[in-house]
Amino acid sequence: MSYIPVVDLNDYLSNDSSRKDKFIQNFGKAYEEIGFAAIENHGIPSHVIDEYYALVEEFYSLPLETKRSYEIVSLGGQRGYTSFGREKAKQSEVADLKEFWQVGQYIEDGEKMPASDYPDNINVAELPDFNEKGRLLYKSFENTGRHLLRAIAEYLNLDKNYFDAKIHNGNSILRAIHYPPITQEPKSAIRAEAHEDINLITLLVGASADGLQVQDVQGTWHDAKAAPTQIMVNVGDMLQRLCNNKLKSTTHRVVNPPKEKWHTHRYSIPFFLHPRSEVKLDCLPNCIDASNPIAYEPITAGEYLTERLIEIGLIKK
């Protein structure tokens, strides 16, 4: 963990202005220099995490034909099951060695959202608690992410609540990933090829096995594993774009285990925090100057998401 800075969310949530400011500065610096931080006292109940992990393992032990009954290819992997080998990194010709399940937003205040952006979540008949436990974890992630984005807003000299309306009923995704045992020599494929995330920030509860690595600016790879009491949180491309590269969307990957551990499973549950689809990702004026000219053309979050889902092979043009 020496490469990844650790910050304590309780510092930011305290009434002590010095503790709060220290969190903002350390968190912001971590995102400028590395793009990753480990968060202590993140507020996501451990029993919610543990219960969902157990159900995820049960789901992936179901017969393949059962799992595939929950795959709707037209949804581009945004809801339900996505089978092994369908997703790849945007620059890769080889699919990642994973299958995954995705949970989308639960609109709970009666707001009408377009069905094209917010398809219904898919219920798993074989596991009656699966969806409810997923919803609880989703909302816990969303709440923690809101606090972290408030700290980021303050670091960027924005109003503390700058992101609040932009992520309310946002198009965020909870993804439960299964990396099955490796049964033969992979053809240059690894569990998850080098990539950057699409969204604002990603929150990741501890994976069931090692493998996550982060690349520094010199191209060196560093192991990144949060302690059991921590979550890993990293910058996504939408946030990097919004702040005109002030904060770093870092390249990361999940490497294959040593050959003697090829028989093992790996499970991972990231939460990709997205804004609402209509939110503009235009570079912030206070992140543009003579030494850092504007780097990106205007685009909405929904348009950008569509571009990236095409690049990684989940939807077709």
Domain locations along the chain: 6-311
Q: What pLDDT is stored for residue 93 in this prediction?
A: 64
User: Looking at residues 47-58, what average pLDDT do you find?
Assistant: 95
**pTM for the full model?**
0.91
pLDDT band at 150 (very low <50, low <70, confident <90, very high): very high
How many residues does the structure list for the chain? Answer: 317
Please tell me the predicted confidence (pLDDT) of residue 277: 93
What number does CATH give the domain 6-311? 2.60.120.330
Integer CA distances (angstroms), 6 to 31, 76, 96, 226, in order: 12, 35, 29, 9
Query: What was the pLDDT predicted at 258?
Result: 73
